[in-house]
Amino acid sequence: MSDAGLAVIGVTACNQDLGLHPFNIVGEKYLLSIADATKAWPLVIPALGHCPAELILPRLDGILFTGSPSNIEPHHFQGQPSEAGTHHDPKRDATTLPLLKAAIDAGIPVLAICRGFQEMNVVFGGSLHQKLHQVGGFIEHREDKQEPVEVQYGISHEVHIEPGGLLHEAWGRSSAEVNSVYTQGVDRLGIGFRPEAYAPDGLVEAFSIKDAKNFALGVQWHPEWKVLDNPFYTSIFNAFSVACERRANSRTR
């Protein structure tokens, strides 16, 4: 694709205090996954507590909804109040939740990862287990924070991929190995969602939206981590890239 037709993919940021000042930040791994694995250009969407979707969506060819150290405030899915000390980001909630719905409705390709996956579920009427390890019946999905980051984001378990979905189309196989770096997980699945992959304990770890106008995939794991070194992760970004390139070509014509 020429530079004139280069896809522009929005990447959601978090609002976080660093020292005495609030910053909008996004992990470099997400930006690199766009620049390296899709050959598009990442454009950071700040979490200011509001977002003029009608202004920015016509300028974007896709959006990557990122993971984050923070959790969605539980009142968004009628959940019980969080335990003391839980890290929240209300400005991100106020930015990304309406933006995600607007993007899906407008037919913007969407890839949602970890917190983004949870945001997608909540936006469409789903709910979350806030502490999977306290529910019972699930394997340990949290990382060991005492280990080096390469170990934390290393392969943790296999997922079963459902036939006929976006993931199966992209990967062409019925299983894959993924990392596992999260505390919250799907309780009630969003309305109109198609499960795309399950963890060994039966937890939904990927889904798509059945009647979406364009690519709309959420994954609980982190395919952005060293994406070019993992063929399965690369296949996800390739599929996302195709949808974004298609939109870029139609938008610039």
The catalytic residue positions are 114, 222, 224
Strand, helix or coil for residue 119: helix
3-state secondary structure 21-90: EEEEECCHHHHHHHHHHCCCEEEEECCCCCCCHHHHHHHCCEEEECCCCCECCHHHHCCCCCCCCCCECH
In sequence order, which residues have a C-beta less than 8 Å from that of residue 181 and are 6 or more positions away? 67, 114, 141, 142, 143, 152, 153, 221, 222
DSSP assignment string, 121-156: HHHTT--EES-HHHHSS----S--TTS-HHHHTS--
